[in-house]
Amino acid sequence: MFKMKNLILVSLFLLVLTGISYADYRYYAWTYQFDTMIAGETEIEFYTTLKQSDRNDDTTAKWARQIEIETGLTDRWDISMYLADKYSEKNAKTKFSEVKFRTRYKLTSMKDMFFFDPLIYIEYRIQADRSYPDKWETKLVLAKDIDKLNIALNFIPEETYKEDSKEKKWKYEYAAGVSYAVVPRFRFGVESKGDLSNGKYMIGPAFSFANNSLWMSISPIYGVNRKSDDIRIQAIVGIAI
Q: Which domains does the chain have, with CATH numbers?
A: 4-240 (2.40.160.40)
Quick one: average pLDDT of 181-194? Answer: 96
CA distance 79 to 102: 6
Question: Which among 58, 65, 64 has a CA at the least distance from the CA of 90?
Answer: 58
Question: Which among 192, 122, 128 has a CA at the least distance from the CA of 159?
Answer: 122
Question: Which one-letter DSSP state was computed for residue 10?
Answer: H
The answer to whether the beta carbons of residues 121 and 136 sit under 8 Å apart is no
Non-local (6+) Cβ contacts of 163 within 8 A are none
DSSP secondary structure, 79-112, as one string: EEEEEEEEEETTTTEEEEEEEEEEEEEESSSSTT
The answer to whether the beta carbons of residues 208 and 26 sit under 8 Å apart is yes
Q: What is the pLDDT of residue 89?
A: 86
Q: Which pLDDT tens digit goes with each residue over 101-155? A: 999 999 999 999 999 999 999 999 999 999 999 999 999 999 999 999 999 999 9
Measured CA to CA in angstroms, residue 37 lies from 46, 127, 181 at distances of 16, 26, 20
Quick one: average pLDDT of 151-172? Answer: 96
Q: What is the pLDDT of residue 203?
A: 98
In sequence order, what are the beta bridge partners of 191? Answer: 177, 204
CA distance 190 to 24: 20
CA distance 22 to 20: 7
pLDDT band at 206 (very low <50, low <70, confident <90, very high): very high
pLDDT above 80 for 84: yes
Q: Which pLDDT tens digit goes with each residue over 12-48? A: 544 444 443 456 899 999 999 999 999 999 999 999 9
Neighbouring C-beta atoms of residue 147, cutoff 10 Å: 7
Quick one: average pLDDT of 202-231? Answer: 95
Quick one: average pLDDT of 156-173? Answer: 95
CA distance 219 to 35: 19
Q: What is the pLDDT of residue 23?
A: 66
Quick one: average pLDDT of 183-194? Answer: 96
pLDDT above 70 for 169: yes
Q: What is the pLDDT of residue 151?
A: 98
Mean of pLDDT over the chain: 91
CA distance 195 to 223: 11
Q: What is the pLDDT of residue 4?
A: 52
pLDDT above 60 for 2: no
Q: What is the pLDDT of residue 6?
A: 52
Alpha helices in the chain (DSSP H): 4-14
Measured CA to CA in angstroms, residue 241 lies from 105, 147, 195 at distances of 22, 29, 35
pLDDT above 60 for 183: yes
Question: Which among 182, 205, 203 has a CA at the least distance from the CA of 194?
Answer: 203
Q: What is the pLDDT of residue 20?
A: 39
Residue 137: which region, alpha, beta or left (left: phi > 0; alpha: psi -120 to 50)? beta
